[in-house]
Every structure is written in C-alpha cells, then in structure tokens.
Amino acid sequence: MLKIRKLLVVLAIVSMVAALAAGCGGKKEGDQKAAPESKKFVNIATGGTAGVYYPLGGAMAEILNKNVTGVNATAQTTGASVANVSALKDGSVQVAFVQNDIAFYAANGTEMYKDKKVEGIKGLSTLYPETIQIVALEKSNIKDIAGLKGKRVAVGAAGSGTEANARQILEAFGITYNDIKPQYLSFAEAANNLKDGNIDAAFVTAGHPTAAIQDIAAQHKISLLPVAADSADKLIKQYPFYTKLSIPAGTYPNQDSEVAAVAVMAMLAVTDKMDDQMAYDITKAIYGNLDRIAAAHAVGKSIKKESAKNGMSIPLHPGAEKYFNEK
C-alpha cells in the first residue's frame, strides 16, 4: 500500500515537471512570435571575462536596450580584437571592440591581414588607452623583457590583439617565439596559470587596472616589466599606433613605483552594412550614458565625446560622424 502511494506521488511529480516544461516551451515560442518583426539584434563582441571589453560591452548592451527603440543588444565573450574583426566580417556581430592597431591592419590589409583586407570596416569611436602590461611574479626574478628568453610566456588568446602586441614587442627586443615557450591563453587562464606556477609571465593588453592582474596581485607580489623609452621609440617607428605612457604606482597592490609602458587605443568598430540611423542611435546612446559606462570599469571615466576621434585609425561610420559633428 505504502509502495503504491509512493509510486503515485512520484508519478504526480513527474507529470507536474513535464507539464511545467511543456508550459515553458510553449511560452517561449509564443514570446518569439510576439516579438515585433522590426526587432534589431545588436551583438557586441567583447573579449575574455577578466578583461575590460567584457564589462564595458555588458554596460553598452544595457544602455542600447534601454535607449534605442527596437534594439535587442547582447554582449558576448570572445578571443578579442582579431576574433572580433572576423565576427564583424561574417556578420555574426554588429559591433566589436577592437584595438586601433588591429582595426588599421584589417582595413588596410597589412600585418595579420596581409592579402586578407577587410572591406567595409568602419569606426564608431575610440574609447581609452589599452596598456600592454607584461606581468611576472616577483619571485621569478624576471626583471625585464630580455629576461623572458627561454620562459613560458602567455601571449594572449589566439585571435587577440594582445598576441599581436606580444609578438611585436618581443621582436623589438630581438626575441622571437622560438626563443620563448608561447602559451595562447585568455587573461583569466593566464592569471590562473601564473598563480599556479605553470607559466612565468603574461602579456595583457587592456585598460588598467585589469581584473586578471588584480587577481594575481591579490595573492602574489608581481613585477610589471618596463618598456623603456628608447625601446618604445624603436617600436613606435615600426608600429606607429603605440604610444608611451606609464602605469602609475599603486595601480596594483604592492606596486610601489610607476612602470614605463606602451599602449594602443580601444575602439568600437562596425561595418558599412549598418545603416546611418542605427550607427547614429548607438553612438548617441553610448555617449549620452557615460556614467553607466564609468560605473562598469574605472577606464570608463576616460571615455569622452571630445576625445572620441583621437587615435581613430579607420574611416568613421557616417552615422557616428553625424553624431560627433552635432554641437
């Protein structure tokens, strides 16, 4: 008797769950049908979760959903700049975070885009400097870039702008990938592997402070390897998108002195397939809600309408141009 009652209870639960599941499915379908035909999907390609593109992209998606009628925006994680340009090209995303150097190479068919020029890539705006940060644990005793020879070095995710920066900077110091053990890791993977002693150093091209480096520095004393002015000048001669800057003391826990570095600019790219009105609306929504962006990450504070064309390396989309020309 007890057994039968138990069986009945189980059966009742099973049928309830089934009914619920069916209900959910039905509702979802209904929702999709109810969505207006004109709903425009705006996928934003960002980077890894421990970078800066990702939280900023999330804030931008939220801004677009609130402020641009008929838009359904989402931010997605990716391998960053180079992967994002590919996603723009194949139409799987409509807006992409990209380094200005990578955007230039894509638009002009140079460097990794030699014979693979990306037609129709346009800029919306430039955002903030992305510092090439080269981080090691202090106890590894790696003091400078020359000290990376023979070491296991995270050079960025495959398809990242970071990876291109790592290659170019090492090359300026006469080091090739044959002289190191390159590891293609996202920022989060690099941080974990550095903490666990599986790698010796990592390149991180991102606005500072970067979450991945904060994560390492919270547990270990870190060294940031300098790119001294004379080496930077040599690098800039060959790759003019680099600019010199310094990482101020105290950017990371226990970082007592400032560190000479180089940076590129983060920017937003779209393609000429985006109509002028949409590019205008997106640009206007973002620049009209900079407080929300600044709340997502400290570098958000350096995003300003007045400096939105500084370092723009490719032609601006006419819709963005229209917005920036308005008083």
Q: By CB under 6 A, name the binding residues for ligand GLU.
A: 47-48, 51-53, 80-81, 99, 130, 156, 160-162, 205-206
- HEC profile for 7-56? HHHHHHHHHHHHHHHHHHHHHHHHHHHHCCCCCEEEEEECCCCCCCHHHH
* Residue 203 C-beta: closest distance to ligand GLU, Å: 9
Q: Are strands 121-137 and 40-45 parallel, antiparallel or unpaired?
A: unpaired
Choice between 71 and 127, CB closer to ligand GLU: 127
Q: Which of 107, 64, 53 is nearest to 284 (CA)?
A: 64
* Residue 52 C-beta: closest distance to ligand GLU, Å: 4
**Quick one: DSSP state of residue 299?**
G
* Residue 205 C-beta: closest distance to ligand GLU, Å: 4
Choice between 46 and 255, CB closer to ligand GLU: 46
* Residue 127 C-beta: closest distance to ligand GLU, Å: 10
Choice between 90 and 230, CB closer to ligand GLU: 90
* Residue 160 C-beta: closest distance to ligand GLU, Å: 3
Residue nearest to ligand GLU (CB): 51
Choice between 99 and 313, CB closer to ligand GLU: 99
* Residue 188 C-beta: closest distance to ligand GLU, Å: 10
Cα Rg, the chain, nearest whole Å: 23
Instruction: Calculate ∠ Cα 131-135-140, nearest 5°.
Output: 165
Choice between 71 and 154, CB closer to ligand GLU: 154
Q: Kindly report the number of other CB atoms within 10 A of residue 181's CB atom.
A: 14
Q: How far is CA 108 from the centre of its chain?
A: 22
Q: Which of 40, 36, 62, 122 is nearest to 309 (CA)?
A: 122
Choice between 129 and 319, CB closer to ligand GLU: 129
